Amino acid sequence: MSSQDIIQSAQNPKIQLVRSLMNQNKARQKQQAFVAEGVRLLEDGLDSSIPLKFLLRKLDPSPRAVELLERLGENYEVLTVEDHLFDDLSGTEHTQGILGVFELKALNLPEKPDFLVILDQIRDPGNLGTILRSAEAAGAQAVILPPGNTDPFAPKVVRAGMGAHFRLPILQLPWEVVDPLVEGLPVFHADMNGELTYWEADFKQGLSLLIGGEAEGISSQGQQILTQSVRIPMKGKTESLNAAISASILMIEVLRQRSQA
């Protein structure tokens, strides 16, 4: 590989594009693209139906990244970047030296869904990514994000999602579109004063789970679609669980009840 084949300038258009996708929601929406970094996420992405636009690699990536590149052959555009430029782009402290730019393409929602998760004012990227990971694990058919949530395709969310972005429909929709989607489905929300414990609720039926943010709870629009609140009993003195833990408990309970039906 000659030095002419290696990207050496921070002003290179591909470097500038990746930087904007890493840092700006507006850029992700304009370009309809997002970044996934690391071998595990790239493997999940390549196994999915989400198109890969191109890859960036360091001069000296990790052994696992080298193995992945060898498997890819010449099927994808792979651009080599000087190590210091890649490290400046990377969102991780110990980078594997490889990242991919994927199309921001939502997977299709089933025609008659019976297990939806609606997120309402989830601001923390780590919590949002964890919820997406748990939703995919529990068999949710889609996660719906009305306005007021953090961007689900930001790098921190993608990392915390652990591949869920490539297997789970993640739909950013206005409330006026959410309302008809949940028509006919009871909408459950975790509340410390809920009249039923979550294991007493009937999660075998078709349903939506509404998960509010820790700081502000659910919005007025969320209140309008809410059917029933359920509580998560706690024995200790902790006042509440964080949004990702509460959401994961409820989603796994849906899976448990339906597995025993």
Take residue 128 and report the two structure tokens written for it. 């949002």
**pLDDT tens readout for residues 154-197:** 999 999 999 999 999 999 999 999 999 999 999 999 888 898 99
What domain range includes position 84?
A: 3-103
Question: Are 40 and 141 in the same domain?
Answer: no
One-letter amino acid at 119 equals L
89: domain CATH number? 3.30.1330.30
Take residue 14 and report the two structure tokens written for it. 């591909």
Any domain includes 64: yes
Question: Are 45 and 125 in the same domain?
Answer: no
Question: Are 165 and 256 in the same domain?
Answer: yes
Question: Of 103, 127, 152, which residue sits at a domain end?
Answer: 103
Q: What is the pTM of this model?
A: 0.94
Question: Are 179 and 85 in the same domain?
Answer: no
Any domain includes 158: yes
How high is the mean pLDDT of the chain? 93
**pLDDT tens readout for residues 76-114:** 999 999 999 999 998 787 899 999 999 998 899 988 899
Find, among 185, 174, 257, the residue nearest to 228 by Cα.
185
Any domain includes 197: yes
- CA 249 vs CA 7, 49, 137, 225, 230: distances in Å: 46, 29, 12, 21, 12
Question: Are 20 and 77 in the same domain?
Answer: yes
Residues 188 and 229: beta-carbon distance below 8 Å? yes
Question: Are 189 and 226 in the same domain?
Answer: yes
If pLDDT is split at 50, 70 and 90, which confidence band does 211 have?
Answer: very high
Question: Are 235 and 164 in the same domain?
Answer: yes
Q: How many structural domains does the chain have?
A: 2
